[in-house]
Structure 1
Amino acid sequence: MGQWAGFGKGLLGEAFSFVKVFLFLQATNDHVGGFVLAKGPSMLPTISPSGELLLMERISVQLGKVRPGDIVVVQSPLVPKKRVAKRLIATEGERVTYVVDPKNSDSLNTIVVPKGHVWVEGDNIHNSYDSRNFGAIPYGLLIGRVFWRVLPFKDFGSMEPHEK
């Protein structure tokens, strides 16, 4: 019986250690950042439609330090369980002129981003569902800022923002 009690204590200790590691990783993901798998055509040529593994940090969003040109991960305003990667174009109070119909570059519209909102667009104007379709989104839908490409290894490195 003593041998089984020792085995049980050891197993319980291992399970407790596993739970602590899991909780630490979950808290890190929820408050600091983590990995994001981005795929689809909307961010071509910046992100491959076949998928890339990216690192995202949440602190810039929490501190209000995201800037136009950053690639951000956003909770979809239309499908709440879906997350998408888009380029931050403008923040509250900034003026945005955008092409309403990509097939007609003369179809321009200009808006001022409302207070508490941001304007996001995919880099691929011909195949992106973004603020050009659904308008400015609440700042609260921003999840994090992408800063590093992990995979594919040939493109490993920083994802420095650039103005669109």
Structure 2
Amino acid sequence: MTTTSGFKWALKTFAFGIPVGVTFIDVFGYVAKVEGHSMQPLLNPDHHHYNSKRKCDYVFLYNWPIITNSFDSIEKGEVIALVSPRDPKQRLIKRVVGLGGDIVETKGYFKKRIEIPPGHCWVEGDNHGHSLDSNVFGPVALGLIKSKATCIVWPPKRMGFLKPTEV
């Protein structure tokens, strides 16, 4: 292989690989680092604010049900990734506690009980004392949900699927 043909091969590979990779990430999903305490003990159980070595979990975020507008596939108890209603640059990982039509007992919201409007859900962190969630900003529009967290992929000793829990 000459230098010119090697360059052409690399250019073709790059030109083909980038769009395929981006499409895979957009359609299927990607791995994301989970930071913070809001989903403890499910995620980041060894992450302590006083520990200088941050031990964070990495999860696979599955996009397909969301990009196909299959919001009816979202179930109570699932862990999802969503755009923060307060800061569109921030992504949050929370548990779905209620869906449209459900009545939810809140934890610090200005109403003790709230009926979730259609097209919305109620999300909470598992660690209620350290979570920016619906108890702060109220029901979340389903359109802000970007993916489902389906499994922990890192660290190896914690690998496994995230199953919906009863809420």
TM-score of the two chains, using structure 2 as the length reference: 0.86
Deviation digits for residues 97-134 of structure 1, max 9, x if unmatched? 11217xxxxx9711111121111100001010100000
Aligned with 2:142 (options 132, 136, 139): 139
Q: Does 2:93 correspond to 1:85?
A: yes
Give the corresponding residue for 1:10.
6
Instruction: Look up the match of 2:152.
Output: 149
- Paired residue for 1:58? 63
Q: Which range moves more in the overlay, 148-157 or 13-22?
A: 13-22
State which of 105, 126, 129 in structure 1 corresponds to 2:129: 126
Tell me how far apart the structure 2 counterparts of residues 158 and 27 of structure 1 sit (CA, whole Å).
24
Paired positions, count:
155
- The structure richer in strand per residue is 1
Corresponding position of 1:31: 27
State the match for 1:97 in structure 2: 105
The residue that corresponds to 1:46 in the other structure is 42
CA RMSD of aligned residues (A): 1.8
5+ unaligned residues in a row in structure 2: which ranges? 48-54
The answer (yes or no) to whether the contact 1:74–1:142 under 8 Å persists in 2 is yes
**Larger radius of gyration between Structure 1 and Structure 2:** 1
Letter paired with 1:75:
V
- The sequence identity of aligned pairs, in percent, is 26
CA distance in structure 2 between the partners assigned to 1:114 and 1:30 by the alignment = 29
Stretches of structure 1 that go unaligned for 5 or more consecutive residues are 102-106
CA distance, structure 1, for counterparts of residue 21 and residue 154 of structure 2 = 21
